[in-house]
Chain A
Amino acid sequence: MSVLVYTENWDGKFKKLSFELVSYASQLAKMLGTTATALSIGEVEADELKKLGNYGAERIISVRNANLKNLDSQAYTAAIAEVANNIGAKAIVISNNNTGKSIAPRLSVRLKAALGAGVGQLPLSTSPFVVSKRAFSGASFMEVELRTEVKIITLMQNSFEITETANNANIEEMQVNVDAPKTTVCDVQRQTGKLLLTDAEIVVSGGRGMKSADNWGPLEELAGLLGAATACSRPVSDEGWRPHEEHTGQTGKIIAPNLYIAVGISGATQHIAGVSSSKYIVAINNDKDAPIFEVAQYGIVGDAQKILPQIISAVKEVKSK
């Protein structure tokens, strides 16, 4: 019996998301009176694997298999299901990112295990096993009972505090039987040298109120100073002022940074749906009645072109101290 947590790697490295997942699994294991086992698939060095132990994984299983070189949802499902059965997993924790979304539902069917998708906190109770998840695109939460013996939870990114623990982890290799994938990855395009929007703790975002693609300089400067990622609202990506990867909102990226700075964004329901899980929202908008101020904790009513330079110099001053 154990809680199994699947920790994806990016070119052999883990990131904050991985440690959030392990922290969550370890706390969940405590609630269930058991321990957490982390599963890594792919080529990850022992030193890197060992890091998972810093967040409460007592056992670290490493699976290397030529058929798992690329993400194939069937192959990964087969591998994780086999490991889950081997260790008698009571619960399985996976990220709610695109990788998790492609595996967890398949795993739910394969193991006949109820899936709580997009969970942001520990279960409200374990008997019955009830989780709270995002619903109606952030306008509500839904308490859902998972009614099977084995449970699967996908965790929203940036929703769980990382906690470091003493590291007692054992690393072991495990063999799995996986058929050759039926999908072939032909090419990969990576964003390099840029902080990913979904990983960022601070996000600076621009809307139609920025008026033109040429006005993004100060916004990018502010993001650079704050170590933030840049985002935008839907009209901005539709106009082609910014790449569509930056579109944040219901049909774009759903993010949950600690600080979201919305500049020239009025705050349509669809935009709020993508950012409502942010810890703090700052809004700068020339319309005092803009709905963004209803969800923001801090606001400035005025012209972004005049306000941004003042903010930039204030940040520079703070950072120089």
Chain B
Amino acid sequence: MKILVCISNVPDTTTKVKFVENDTKLDTNGVQWVINPWDELSLTRALELKDDAGNSVNNVTVAHVGPATSEPTIRKALAIGADEAIRVNADQGDAYYVASQLAEVLRANQFDIVLCGIESSDYNGSSVGSMVAELLGLPSVSAISNLQIEGEKVRITREIDGGKEMLEVATPFVGIVQKGIAKEPRIAAMRGIMQARTKKIAVVEPAAVDSLTQVVKFDKPAPKAACKFVDADKAADLIALLQAETKLI
């Protein structure tokens, strides 16, 4: 079995985001780039499955849509343990554009399971995985917090409003993964980092696809009023204050 993990290259989650060019672009000055946290969890689970002799997973490949400057993030995925990587050489368009490029990768290469993180921490669209599935006519399951392989069957737990559902799905399918799928993201060891240097990143040119959306500009949230402090010895005053000002208690 082969697993494809789709990875996105995002600013480190502690980045103080700033914008340039009349607030139309992210200021990438000094930004540390990382694998999108949910994609990193997907990759970790894929590698756990590969390490487990109880199933037939024997290859984990990562795919990324982005320019050459995102290769350090792809190398990181290889250092963590991915066997190979495919980069679609494109400046990222919208979710539909990215999904269309990933769908082309899947048309050219056979995979049994495709894993995507439930959202990216930059545009928070939660769209790419399900779009890839629809473009290829594959089943998709969202908000997966557990994934096990038993023979040809995949057993999945997904989170729903107020509970969990246990599902079975046949391969090939697209799994959209959330927290819980793996305990901690795997960290690259020195040996992995050395090996990653010689692993191949296949570069393919993008298909001609038009985005369906266009970013107009970014806005910072309106600044909130300064915090009103209540004395610790008069903590009960907080309730009076909340009652008077928020009318919620």
Contacts and interface: CB of A to CB of B under 8 A. Distances in A.
Given A191-B163, A270-B13, A299 B229 contact: yes
A185 interface: yes
B130 A105 contact: yes
B72 interface: no
A143 B22 CA distance: 13
Contact of B215 (A104, A113, A142, A181): A142
Contacts of A110: 134
B188 to A, nearest CB: 20
A310 B142 contact: no
A300 B238 contact: yes
A258 B248 CA distance: 8
A25 interface: no
A207 B236 CA distance: 21
A196 B238 contact: no
A129 B155 CA distance: 41
B170 A182 contact: yes
Interface string A255-296: 000110000000001100100100110110000000001111
A87 interface: no
A186 B167 CA distance: 5
Interface stretch (B78-86, B196-204, B217-225): B217-225
B235 A310 contact: yes
Contacts of A77: 134
Contacts of B217: 142-143
Interface residues of A, number: 97
Q: Which secondary structure dominates chain B's binding surface?
A: mixed
A139 B10 CA distance: 14
Interface in B101-150: 118-119, 121-131, 133-135, 137, 139-143
Contacts of A115: 95-96, 125, 127, 212-213
A137 to B, nearest CB: 5
A187 B219 CA distance: 43
B239 to A, nearest CB: 4
A262 to B, nearest CB: 12
A134 B109 CA distance: 34
A283 B179 contact: no
Contacts of B130: 73, 101-106
Contact of B99 (A109, A143, A187, A295): A109
A101 B14 contact: no
A251 B37 contact: yes
A136 B121 contact: yes
> Lowest 5 A-B CB distances belong to which pairs?
A302-B232, A102-B142, A314-B236, A105-B130, A114-B212
